[in-house]
A = this chain, B = another copy of it.
Amino acid sequence: MSTRTLAELAALVGGGVSGDGQLAIGGVAPLETAGPGQLSFFANRKYRAAFEASRAGAVVVEQDEEVPAGRTVLRAPGAYLAFARISALFNPPAPVEPGVSPQAAVHPSASVDPSAQVGPFVSVGPGAVVGPRTVLHAGVQLGAGVRVGADCLLYQNVVVRERCVLGDRVALQPGCVIGSDGFGYALDLAGDGGGPRHFKVPQAGHVVIEDDVEIGANSCVDRATLGTTRVCRGAKIDNLVQVAHNVVVGPLSILASQVGISGSTTLGMGVVCWGQAGLVGHITVGDRANVAAQAGVAHDVGPGERVAGSPAKSDVAWARNSAAFDRLTDMRRELRALQKQVAALLQERKP
């Protein structure tokens, strides 16, 4: 795309320029590689050296950021969001190429909007519906009765099993699976005379992914045993995440990579679970709660609560106790010393 002046970009994001507002910007780039015609971003003080050394034409910074003399900056409140908006301007999504590949397999009873793009080796099952401007990349498999809304982006080899529903503007990264069977078995000791077995509980429900949800590569959202597993509007889920049957992931929630949510657990609005956290089943996590990385949550978490550790508890208490854990052998030694001293005192007292 053509260039924009730095002043134009600043106006777009409600920011201001220190330096040459007429500078022509042709794109965004990291501090290390940006050139004079590019815009970069600085916020994390770990990268101050890179910021100071950068050859970027200009850099987006927070309103009150300290900057070296002579450095042209675009100051904006919420610098990260401002930078994201500008980056989106220079990196628009690939245009949709309407049409169905001759190497796709669209069932005659399915309905694909003429403005949608269907790549090779995509199957669209009986009765499935694909909305306007939605893109199904190569190898996407949609089961019978699946409904996909408008402006969705399903990357390569995504699977959506039968009867699951995707809203509008849903993005699924490659290999993501929606609607796999939930993990439910009833122990059957007699097993029709064949001895013990795990009797499969039918997973007869489905999954609803609401508007503006994004789910990462090779993540899995299981269908409900009965009813609906639901990822609510605007939630964002990273790669390799497990969302079990009958879970509800609340609106605007964030699940980082490798998080696991067990069956029938309900997350409120704006919940954040950091990497590799695990939640047991049948619990409730309140709005805006924060679950630390690798935490193991075994009980309900209240709104706004911050938990850490396994089993998880208040993150402040956990941090303190963790620090104490790091001196546990010292404590043990001190305890031993005290025992000797007290024993001596008791000894002396005896007679």
Contact = CB atoms under 8 A, between A and B. Distances in A.
Task: Report the copy number of this chain in the oligomer.
Answer: 3
A87 interface: yes
A275 B276 contact: no
Interface in A266-325: 270, 275-276, 278, 280, 282, 293-294, 296, 310-311, 313, 317, 320-322, 324-325
Interface string A328-350: 11011011001101100110110
A52 interface: no
Q: Which of A91, A204, A328 has the largest number of chain B CB atoms within 10 A?
A: A328
A345 B236 CA distance: 61
A242 B244 contact: no
Nearest to A296: B294
B87 A204 contact: yes
Interface in A168-215: 171, 173-175, 177, 180-181, 183-188, 196-202, 204, 212, 214
A199 B85 contact: yes
Nearest to A101: B105
A258 B257 contact: no
A78 B201 CA distance: 13
A17 B211 CA distance: 44
A341 to B, nearest CB: 5
B217 A217 contact: no
Given A30-B227, A198-B252, A220-B218, A175 B159 contact: yes
A133 interface: no
Given A32-B227, A276-B276, 18 more contacts: A28-B204, A81-B188, A87-B226, A121-B141, A123-B138, A139-B141, A198-B252, A216-B220, A218-B220, A239-B242, A240-B260, A276-B296, A294-B294, A321-B326, A331-B331, A341-B346, A342-B342, A348-B349
Interface of A: 28-30, 32-33, 44, 46, 78, 80-81, 83-85, 87-88, 90-91, 94, 101, 103, 105, 119-121, 123, 137-139, 141, 143, 155-157, 159, 161-162, 171, 173-175, 177, 180-181, 183-188, 196-202, 204, 212, 214, 216-218, 220, 222, 226-227, 234, 236, 238-240, 242, 244, 252, 254, 256-258, 260, 262, 270, 275-276, 278, 280, 282, 293-294, 296, 310-311, 313, 317, 320-322, 324-329, 331-332, 334-335, 338-339, 341-342, 345-346, 348-349
18 contacts: A83-B201, A103-B103, A139-B141, A139-B157, A157-B175, A175-B175, A198-B234, A198-B236, A216-B220, A240-B242, A257-B260, A258-B260, A262-B275, A276-B276, A317-B326, A320-B328, A321-B327, A324-B329
